[in-house]
Structure 1
Amino acid sequence: MKLYFFPGACSLASHIVAREAGLDIELDKVDFADKKTASGKDFRAINPKGTVPALELDNGELLTEGPAIMQYLADRNPASALAPAYDTLARYRLQEMLGFISTELHKRYSPLFNPDAPQSVRADSTAALQRQYALLDKRLAEHEWLVGDHFTAADGYLFTVTNWASHVGVDLSAFPAVLAFQKRVAARPAVQKALAAEGLIPQQ
């Protein structure tokens, strides 16, 4: 399998899940300036959406959208427990959390990366993020992980989007449980390997 990614973008969550699952995947970095991959391909021809992550499967098919990719990767190694079993309430809890992160956090950050976004839009997004982080902080003060009693794909996704806060001026100092969660995830060996592979921390 090949994962098309951009360092630190939402594709990092899929990369983390692949590492946590112990999967052997190839990485191909996308340059959004010229829409080319590190391997020299036209990314628009690979994924007409033009977004990462995109996962090229062994049979040549392409899977897009982070929550779908994360679940697919987790299911390649059920023993990793990155996603609960099919048709269990726990699986739907994972999907519930992935949906929450995608719509209430991930998309709220988007305007903050746009220097042309009106100040009113930026203020609204920041306020919305603060409200959602307050909910997450309460949960993480009571539970080590978002779903169940162990690390899942949802934790990798939350870690990834929350890493953006310092880059766009979102103050998380009022959420100590969220900050502790970020440190807890960052210390995981698989996460360290993913961060290093993307050039986000020094290679060890």
Structure 2
Amino acid sequence: MTPPLGPWLLPGDVRQHAHAPDSPLPAAVLFDRDGTLVADVPYNGDPSRVVLMPGAREAVDTVRTAGVPVGVVTNQSGVARGLLTRREVEDVRLRVEELLGPFAVWAVCPHGPGEGCGCRKPAPGLVLAACRRLAVPPGRTVVIGDIGADMEAARAAGARGVLVPTDVTRAEEVVAADATAADLPQAVRLVLDPAVPTGEAR
């Protein structure tokens, strides 16, 4: 059965939804999942294969400590391809939260590249859906990811993007990014206090 052409919004920690409209901090920080928070295991539905990326726990904890809601925006085309079920996506979510703590929102695109949805990154739908769930303006939201599609989705939604390149990030994606950081903790420092020197961040 073909999923409806809209994102899945998985259960989140509602306690993180509050934000101060006049705060200099972002209203929310949304992380890509695979290749950003956890190692990219293609079409993974097995919680035992979830491995954190370096610095992921420190980065997420730092954002939470600052009082900023954290969320996840992730493409999961394995659902449309018949390689993943919703239950498996949920099981992996639960494992990620065992390792990183609860997120305020999970926005998941279950569609394939050719289905014409508006949520599959680089389209802005996941970012916009997460912002609506959190009642925060996209213009005060930051998306942190590892590939150009994450940055394009942020830009299309009116959000700020920070790229944390990995071995799969293409050189042209790095050049096109509005901001880059060497690792997740550095990306978070850049997001929370742009005045702090961040080495390779630009």
Q: Same fold (TM over 0.5)?
A: no
Q: TM-score, normalised on structure 2?
A: 0.30
More helix by share: 1
* Larger gyration radius, structure 1 or structure 2: 1
TM-score, normalising length: structure 1: 0.30
